[in-house]
A and B are shown apart, each in its own frame.
Chain A
């Protein structure tokens, strides 16, 4: 039935509010800072028949927006094999090959019944602090099988017809280094699901199932219509972009992500078949994760399209089976964040070639999962695990943001005072990194320098990063950003890991430090056209050194620090020639 446009607009807001409120409930009650502070979680409503995304919260992790539908589909398949879902069932699992992402992300999926039928599914996903495996915090760059990354739980019932299954929770808890945190996060997710169901039922009481049903169908159609309109604005043809991962943590060989993007009227084909085959280390991803990452990239470019399955309707994917972008168990996938960041980078680079005005240069492109772990004097285990920030790419209307969060997330970084009060560490530096943004008519945002010193007697350090060898790219003639750097102190001084930005089991002693210097974002447009006074201001602020101003931007200064106009004009002319 055709629904009137005003009721539709109103219901759209109501549905989104439900998902947003589920997000907020989990953020506030979660235990581990990756959810509570970094918002590494998401909630939404999914189709009763096929699990398609109907509505997603605005505050959850963007990458989950695309991937949660696959999780719900997995539950629907599993339930069908067991004779269907029942009222009061709630499923839990973390299988990355079926539901996307990596083992740290635990999903809850629950059918909401009306008049004996499933109206839709609610789902919650959150990144738990520790799910077993070889490395505390689960970013194990040395993993060659998923069994070294953590426990793998297929879809099982956490509630069976309304009955809570403590035995399932007991199994989960016994497999974590942080069982208390696990218990707290799980409770937060259950709280969010309870609340979502309550709110959804109130909405259905008010508007009735048929109207709500029609509204959801119409929203999906409109997302597809809008996406088609956006694609139609791009010139038809095929364009290509390639980018690289440093290595897989096992073999020090770069891995290619290649995109051939074809625009054909109102259809888009994203062809990744020229990308590298599956690798030994944990930077593989499943097909569902690849699709989700492209969804995130397209949403960044075409910000107005609604967050539901309709967005991908006019998009065709070509991904080779058993390539880096479509692996099956037990290939390790723990570092999926790095690969999807690179996928977003190639989409940005391809879009820049056909729609330079709406293009953004690459952001810093690595999550830099760093964990420090050890035991306190009283024997208690501690694990500090966090992700770090970097610069955003410059874009057609301005410089990139300094110290932003990753495109796949809206995570904020925990306050250093909270980290220092919770763990035996001390930050000795927390600063912007000069010269880390790519040069350009618009300059890339700056990355950061974080230096952490150990207060306990000893600890082990694990790092899973990227962009140590291939820097974040500029677009439309803009320069590349600085690469990622990591240093660790030993008795004989500072060292850099052989794989540059990945390493396990670094042993630190009291007073020794580690230091991360994260990449900035790529530049946009020719740096030699940037206003020399703006470059001068960048130098005064300390964002850009005088050397880089001369070498990268072609700007020469007087001894007083002002722009030397004639010399600048001459230098730029010479460079442009």
Chain B
């Protein structure tokens, strides 16, 4: 490995974004090529070829992938067999006895593994780890062969209470591997040795279900890279925002479930940190949804689990992304009681908003933005259409909203935007205020095509301090690949009273696990600025079932007293009051090892030949805002010099996004080429 180039690749539904960074020269280049449906690796290689002549110059390729996400959403994983404890083959299908919606009993659920492919073997481990009945490897082999003959490509072995003692499961996995025709065999406790059978099985099942799909995709990527002379390292972004080696990704494909969106958040975090913002809310607005993530004190919030769809639970640490049904395609309507609603029903991108002219006649958020002058009808984002149909958008708003509410078209359109903004504001409140953060200390960072039209309103609605629009919002995820740290998370259920724990021995265990995990990180060959090790206990009062995360430090002598004190302060911070006299339990321990990549110099984005604002002015457009028409100045955003200052109302245009600076707000170009928007004065 002699190269100096680091490449980030993000494959989206429409475009594949490539970000090329030459560490030796500090030079940055980006390119966009159409994504190749069916085999994304073709567009991937194509994109790199555009910018790199000799693949031997590449040291590292980092990839944020949606192959796993899409296979889950579209249910296009491999046929998978489950081998489980006698009596429990329906755990996956029975879920936690829930339903998709509180009101109206009309839900359905189809598990990704059909019932005949879920088979049982005699074995049993008790909750305390005692083996009540040992597993018979021969019985396991018979069942495994039958599944393989029936056409299963992947297998998942899951035994009840495996978290307490994995011996039976380990023996069974060995037996399956000895007869299974492929290497696609998942052991539930290797994925997640944590109590709660459904969550563990669901996560492990998705690992097995994704393995053939993700592995073969990564194989093709490696072949494509190798064929072009690449001898560097391929890394994959995980849902937790860290990267992993390609080998690990093939073993644990479930960790890529939210790989793509995580890369975007990581980039947002890095851009903001460079610009001096520690606290941001990233906002990704698409056609049907609005994704929000919180970065507090420079760190993205992680969620312990997420549901990809009803009943499809994945329990691995993931960047916490809150999604609400408010996007450019969200449909506005007036309900039976005369109340205006926006979303969650959406026209998506096809047929899309009324102004696309592709057949939808119900007004959307984009239509409202258009008739209020905030979008240029002659320069649609994305390059798919030549122009937008303003008259059709106007008519749709008139018929479906104005006439019913007795408002003018402009008033109705503004009402649609206010409501959509209120929903987005609600999502931001959910991840900020409701977690105890003060919104005035936070900065909104929009990426994707539509977000920057709404950030001004969000500043006003939520009371955010400012907004930060990156110089190239469209390639944020690809940049995130280049700056992401390497990260590995481990969890193990302990499930014992604190008073019964040998704290010193447990501290040694934590260190040992961290050492093994660190080897995985350092063996990758990537250069790190430093290695961080984080240790946490999931703890609770005896009798509770939900835990609080308690940070501990086993590098100093771990004592029961120190753990109790750490629990007390964590519990108090979460709920306000301690419950004296009730014993405390340690449910799980968590070990995280992070290899920090060298800091990426964001000043490479700074405009070098910027011009004064007056010279970047391209005209004016009439916009409606705060109940009246205004003449807003139009600017070519990318031509603006560092330090240029623009007062709202103004519209800044660039190929991949449109930025609206509201009345009462002002924007300034910072030293990194970002646009910082703040209340004026």
Contact = CB atoms under 8 A, between A and B. Distances in A.
Contacts of B124: 426
A251 interface: no
A191 B105 contact: no
Contacts of B132: 426
A414 B97 CA distance: 9
A493 interface: no
Given A6-B418, A6-B419, A225-B338, A404 B116 contact: no
Nearest to B411: A6
B11 interface: no
Interface stretch (A90-98, A141-149, A180-188, A323-331): A180-188
Interface stretch (B85-93, B258-266, B630-638, B662-670): B85-93
Contact of A191 (B98, B340, B577): B577
Contacts, number: 205
Interface string B203-222: 00000000000000000000
A433 to B, nearest CB: 9
A389 B97 contact: yes
Nearest to A429: B87
A293 interface: no
A190 B576 CA distance: 10
Contacts of A497: none
A9 interface: yes
Contact of A404 (B107, B197, B199, B336): B107
A410 interface: yes
Contacts of A397: 106
B276 interface: no
Interface residues of B, number: 68
Q: Which of A9, A181, A222, A405 has the most CB of B within 10 A?
A: A9
A496 interface: no
A191 B575 contact: yes
A551 interface: no
Contacts of A389: 94, 97
A401 interface: yes
A405 B103 contact: no
Contacts of B415: 5-6
B543 A180 contact: yes
B437 interface: no
A28 interface: yes
B98 A418 contact: no
A81 interface: no
B557 interface: no
Interface stretch (B29-37, B223-231, B385-393, B426-434): B426-434
B93 A363 contact: no
Contacts of A428: 87
B164 to A, nearest CB: 8
B93 to A, nearest CB: 6
Interface string A453-490: 00100000000000000000000000000000000000
Contacts of B96: 412-413, 415
B426 A541 contact: no
Interface in A379-422: 388-389, 392-393, 395, 397-405, 407, 410-418, 420-421
Contacts of B90: 403, 430-432, 448
A392 B94 contact: no
A412 B103 CA distance: 15
A25 interface: yes
Q: Which of B93, B98, B115, B164 has the most CB of A within 10 A?
A: B98
Nearest to A58: B102
A8 B495 CA distance: 48
A8 B339 contact: yes
A472 B389 CA distance: 54
Q: Which of B88, B95, B127, B423 has the most CB of A within 10 A?
A: B127
B677 to A, nearest CB: 22
Interface in B64-114: 87-91, 93-99, 101-109, 114
B254 to A, nearest CB: 19
B163 A417 contact: yes
A13 interface: yes
A455 B103 CA distance: 39
Given A225-B338, A418-B195, A17 B426 contact: yes
Contact of B198 (A188, A398, A415, A427): A415
Chain B interface, DSSP helix/strand/loop, else mixed: loop
Interface size class of A (residues with CB under 8 A): 35 or more
Contacts of B128: 421
Contacts of A392: 99, 105, 107
Contacts of B163: 417
A407 B101 CA distance: 11
A13 B105 contact: no
A540 B117 CA distance: 11
Given A25-B575, A187-B577, A300-B103, A5 B405 contact: yes
Contacts of B336: 225-226, 229-230, 304
A155 to B, nearest CB: 24
Given A30-B544, A402-B109, A431-B90, A410 B195 contact: no
Given A6-B340, A399-B108, A31 B543 contact: yes
A303 interface: yes
Contacts of A133: none
Contacts of B105: 300, 360, 363, 392-393, 395, 400-401, 404, 407
Given A300-B104, A402-B93, A13 B422 contact: yes
Contacts of B307: none
A286 interface: no
B97 A404 contact: yes
Contacts of B626: none
Contact of A395 (B106, B341, B422, B423): B106
A62 B102 contact: yes
A53 to B, nearest CB: 15
A410 B434 contact: no
Given A184-B579, A194-B576, A404-B97, A17 B429 contact: yes
A346 interface: no
Given A17-B434, A413-B97, A222 B545 contact: no
8 contacts: A9-B340, A31-B541, A37-B545, A222-B337, A303-B103, A398-B108, A400-B105, A541-B114
Given A5-B415, A403-B90, A543-B115, 6 more contacts: A59-B102, A229-B337, A301-B104, A398-B108, A403-B93, A410-B99
Please give me the 7 A-B residue pairs with the lowest Cβ-Cβ distance, nearest first: A389-B97, A222-B337, A226-B337, A303-B104, A413-B97, A412-B96, A420-B127
